[in-house]
Amino acid sequence: MGEFGGNDYNFLISSTRTVEQARVYAPQIVDSISRGLEMLIQHGAKYIVVADIFPIGCLPAILTMLASPNNMEYDGHGCLKSMNKLGRYQNSLLRRRIKVLRYKYPHTKIIATEYYRPVLAFIQKPRHFGLNSSTTLLTCCGAGGPPYNTDFNAGCGQPGATACADPSGALQWDSFHLTESAYRFIADGWLHGPYADPLIMDVARY
């Protein structure tokens, strides 16, 4: 299940809603995720992976839409603090809901997985993961050049867009998604730790 919420916030922000206005929808998004989980359980699901959402303030699309001359709105790595705060808010609501559902359905294994923490780790220590430290917020497949290489009229796959020379060293593939290299690290963290509770491989052994 998931990650749900990112597209909702992207749509709201692109529709000129403020971050505060978008925050109001977080409980509704978590309610929808919860209803979906319960439907799966009622249909017999025994193992369900539920993912949290990215630090959306680090996505090139959001950084482009909400670009600000005020440096105070950004953290030390160039991400928008208000949007990341929104992501943490939804993730906290989701974690609490998962605890409730685990208690309600003890015979279903609900695995809580993370996007938020590993993506922040990529941005904070890119070289540790073999990523280019100078392009963590730069779209690999896009147009427009720095700071985010994001042109909504020339998205990846459209005329005018090109891919970077070494996608394996990039973090951001297009303006909304990560590269295969980044997702490989996340998948490993879900399977073997530390980005899943419980670890998927531990569950698979039983």
Q: How many residues does the chain have?
A: 206
pTM of the model: 0.93
Residue 188 pLDDT greater than 80, yes or no: yes
Condensed to tens digits (0 to 9), the pLDDT of residues 131-179 reads 999 999 999 999 999 999 999 999 999 999 999 999 999 999 999 999 9
Closest CA to 147 of 86, 63, 69: 63
**Per-residue pLDDT averaged across 69-82, rounded?**
96
Domains of the chain: 6-204 (3.40.50.1110)
Residue 14 pLDDT greater than 90, yes or no: no
